């Protein structure tokens, strides 16, 4: 099965339980193929957890979920050492992150100390406890959900951790027709079948990473990100990590589309979800009621894209 057909099969399986969110599913799979982590920022009850679980089943990955509450400790996530009387030694008990796909549910409801425990895990894919380092299973993906900032009991994620998420997505409410379909499918209980497994996903990630990017497209990516650093309404622009994420996501989207080269349109399609959580509007933007989405869409319009070439 080719990368394009395999990706289509994965999305088709996930759609058994997620109705009417085709673009979100494509972006989610692109992030997974890019070895990136995903932040789902939306109100409760729109299917964020359902989508994460469906992806784990379609990809044939091990899956663990941790509900983040104010009393969750770093040791719950990472693990801890406990004395074993039989072995007369300290034995490490693995935490929730020792899995392929880790769902951090409502991550902004827990303390900053617990949130920070994920930093090394997300960046280095390893856990350090009591002076010892434990590598995580591969592939390793964090899917985190958060309620909108300002909701009851939420604590804002630090910028350093927000930057570790490759993309930020919102599912939004379904349409009336889609919600009717959700009710019907709840009764039938469609089962999501595995299309691949951990080894197969690693192979797909490697293929996606080898998708060709022309120098003109590299230049386009950097000019887009650089425009966020100099915009009138933005206090904080995208970092070089944002440029790397934009490149990786563009490659994966091209791979899902059945191409072995990136088009400027791929870059444009992933620009908002890659940058929306990395930029910070300034006081003037708040006074003028200009949203980050509006600013990023304006940048897409203003930065000229490379001319289309017939060759690669």
Give the pLDDT confidence of 125-156 residue by residue, as tens digits: 899 888 888 899 899 999 998 877 655 567 77
Same domain, 218 and 183: no
CA distances from 39 to 80, 163, 224, 307 (A): 26, 10, 22, 33
What CA–CA distances, in Å, run from 294 to 276, 289, 291, 299, 301?
10, 10, 5, 9, 11
Considering 156, 173, 198, which residue would you say is the last residue of a domain?
198
Whether residue 97 contacts residue 144, with contact meaning beta carbons closer than 8 Å, is answered with no
58's tokens: 């379609």
Q: What is the pLDDT of residue 1?
A: 47
What is the chain's Cα-based Rg? 20
Residue 167 domain flag:
yes
133 and 280 share a domain? no
Phi, psi of 236 (to 5 degrees): -130, 125
Q: What percent of the chain lies above the pLDDT cut of 70?
A: 95
Q: Are residues 128 and 277 in the same domain?
A: no
To the nearest whole percent, how much of the chain has pLDDT over 90? 52
- For the chain, the straight-line distance linking the first and the last C-alpha, in angstroms and rounded, comes to 25
Enter the pTM of the model. 0.90
Residues 194 and 290 in one domain: no
Please tell me what DSSP assigns to residue 107: G
Q: Are residues 141 and 172 in the same domain?
A: yes
Domain boundary among 168, 198, 228: 198
Neighbours of 125 (CB within 10 A): 17
Query: Are residue 155 and residue 102 in the same domain, yes or no?
Result: yes
The average pLDDT across 154-181 equals 86
Strands 132-135 and 126-129: antiparallel
Residue ending a domain, choose from 198, 223, 242:
198
Could you tell me the sign of the dihedral formed by the alpha carbons of 15, 18, 20, 22, in that order?
A: negative
Residue 109 lies in a domain: yes
- Please report whether residue 307 resides in a domain: no
* 194 has a pLDDT exceeding 50: yes
Domain count of the fold of the chain:
2
Q: 168 and 26, same structural domain?
A: yes
Cα(255)–Cα(212) distance, integer angstroms = 10
Q: 194 with 137, same domain?
A: yes
Tens-place pLDDT, residues 201-227:
999 999 999 999 999 999 999 999 999
Query: Are 37 and 108 part of one and the same domain?
Result: yes
Domain that holds residue 14: 3-71+98-198
Tell me whether strands 89-94 and 79-84 are parallel, antiparallel or unpaired.
antiparallel
CATH number at residue 233: 1.10.8.80
Tell me, yes or no, whether 86 lies in a domain: no
Statement to judge: residues 183 and 48 lie in one domain: yes
Residue 241 lies in a domain: yes
Residues 6+ apart with CB under 8 A from 165: 36, 37, 38, 39, 122, 142, 144, 277
């Amino acid at each position: 099965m080719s990368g394009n057909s395999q990706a289509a099969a994965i999305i088709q399986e996930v759609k058994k339980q997620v109705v009417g969110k085709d673009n979100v599913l494509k972006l989610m799979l692109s992030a997974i193929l890019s070895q990136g982590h995903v932040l789902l920022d939306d109100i409760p009850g729109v299917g964020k957890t359902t989508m994460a679980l469906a992806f784990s089943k379609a990809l044939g990955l091990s899956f663990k979920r941790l509900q983040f509450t104010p009393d969750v400790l770093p040791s719950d996530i990472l693990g801890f050492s406990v004395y074993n009387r039989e072995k007369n030694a300290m034995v490490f008990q693995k935490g929730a992150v020792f899995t392929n796909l880790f769902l951090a549910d409502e991550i902004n409801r827990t303390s900053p100390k617990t949130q920070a425990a994920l930093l090394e895990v997300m960046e280095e894919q390893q856990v350090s406890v009591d002076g010892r380092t434990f590598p995580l299973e591969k592939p390793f993906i964090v899917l985190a959900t958060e309620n909108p900032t300002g909701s009851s009991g939420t604590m804002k994620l630090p910028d350093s951790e927000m930057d570790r998420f490759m993309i930020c997505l919102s599912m939004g409410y379904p349409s009336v027709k889609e919600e009717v379909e959700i009710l019907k499918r709840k009764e039938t209980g469609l089962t999501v079948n595995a299309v691949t497994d951990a080894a197969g996903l690693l192979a797909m990630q490697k293929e996606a990473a080898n998708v060709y990017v022309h120098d003109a497209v590299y230049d386009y990516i950097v000019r887009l990100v650089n425009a966020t650093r100099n915009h009138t309404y933005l206090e904080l622009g995208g970092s070089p990590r944002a440029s790397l994420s934009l490149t990786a996501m563009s490659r994966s989207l091209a791979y899902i589309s059945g191409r072995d080269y990136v088009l400027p349109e791929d870059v444009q399609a992933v620009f908002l979800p890659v940058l929306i959580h990395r930029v910070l509007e300034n006081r003037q933007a708040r006074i003028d009621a200009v949203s980050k989405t509006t600013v990023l869409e304006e940048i897409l319009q203003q930065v000229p894209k490379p001319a289309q070439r017939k060759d690669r």
